[in-house]
Every structure is written in C-alpha cells, then in structure tokens.
Structure 1
Amino acid sequence: MGGDVVRPEPRQEPAPLTRHLRVRQDRGATVLEFHGEIDIAAATEIGPHLDRVTHQPGARVVIDLRHIEFFDCSGLRLLYRARARVLERGGQLHLVCTHPLTLRVLRVTGLTRLLPPRPTVDAALEQPEATSGSW
C-alpha cells in the first residue's frame, strides 16, 4: 500500500509546428509562440497554421512574440490578418510582447491601439476580450 507519491506533471514545451512556430493550449486559448526571425520566409511557414487557428468561430488566440529575434512587415501582416479573422468570427486575439524594438514597431504602425501588448501569457489571458478598435 505504501506511500505512492503523486508528482505534478512536468510542464510540457509546445511542440514545434515549424522552425518559427510552436502551438499549445492554455486555459481554453490557443497560444501561438513565434520564434526566431519573423520575415517573409517565416511568415510563409506560419501563415497556414495561423489561418487554421483563426478560422475557428469564437477562437481565443494569444500570439506570443517574446521568443523572436527579428520582426518585419511580414510579421505585421500576420498580426493584422489574424486580428481581422478572429474578430470576424466573434473570437478574441491577444498579443504578448516585451522586446523594446518590436514594441516600437508595433507602436509606430498603430498596432498597439488595436492589439495592446501584454508582458506575459497570463496577463493576456486575464483580458476579458480582444480590442475591437477600427482599422
């Protein structure tokens, strides 16, 4: 009978779908972690996976940019497209970003008004709903 010890399961790292994308579930939301350099080649890899997730009616999606090293206009297009698709289907989209240069790009392009970045996935998931600012 002895003392069976119940150990918590180790936190599983999300499985990479591509070199630039890992996807996991967290509290009913799909968390998309972008990794590395998000340029046109990466956007081409990420796009179909992002479209699949954002096509679901009522989807709760978090895009996590904390693991990126570079982010250009291709990455911005991914964010704008994801936001439009999620909102069209009554869902929620949240953004996680802490890198100063990426935050500056988001601010200069006005994206921070539409998708206010949060410092962590926890902070993003505490938000009641996605920002619905106009284009």
Structure 2
Amino acid sequence: MADSQRTSEPINFVHQDEIWKAHVKVEKDSAEVWPNKWGFLTETYKEYERESVKLKETVRMKLPHHLAARPPTPPEKPIQVSPSPAVPQTTQALIGWRSGPSDFQLEKYCTVHHGRRSFLKELGWPFDSCN
C-alpha cells in the first residue's frame, strides 16, 4: 500500500487489482479449509467452557463464610473536605495547587516519613561506581 502512495511513479491499477483478487482468493480458500484442519479446536474450547462453568459453580458453593463479601463499614469519623482554592493562572502553578495548602490536609493519618536509601549503599558499592 505504501508503494501506491508514491506520486513519482505511475500506478498500475490492473496489477493492484490482480494482487487484491489473489489475497481475497487465499482468504476464501483458507476459510473453507480451516474447519477440516483446525475444527477440533472449537469442540475443545466448548468442553473447556463447560468445565469452567461447573468449576465456578462448585467454588461458589464451597466459599467459606469468612471469605464472603461483607457490606462496607462506615468510617468512624466522617472525612471533611474543604473547597479548593481558585485555579492558578499559569500551568506551572497547577502542580500541587490542591495539595500545597495545609488547610486541605490530604494526608489522612500524618505526614509520610520515608527514609532516604541508597541502592549503592545497600549493595555495598562505592558511590562513584555508577556515573
């Protein structure tokens, strides 16, 4: 198809039509031959579907009571969300504009304290080994 998009070379429509007819013929012949050659896969797939339905039904019946779905518990203390500030004028100010002010308190429990770790230090390699 990319060759037919070229404007510098003349296009042979008859040749392209013959190529298309050959492709369609191959597809049609393949569709006729497929059931004889690979049709057994459809029966195998149907058997697999029947078995999987049976297994799903047995699993549903044998589900222990402690794994059954429970209704969600309401939170002990309702979460209050204050209104957002005005949208910033610049796109650079959009980064963190809702989480920046302390009024919103987006951290539910407290601030996040992750220690700074070094991959090189964990492996016992010198710091200048990866530049």
**Scaled by the length of structure 1, what TM-score is found?**
0.15
Structure with the higher helix share, 1 or 2 = 2
Larger radius of gyration: 2
**Scaled by the length of structure 2, what TM-score is found?**
0.15
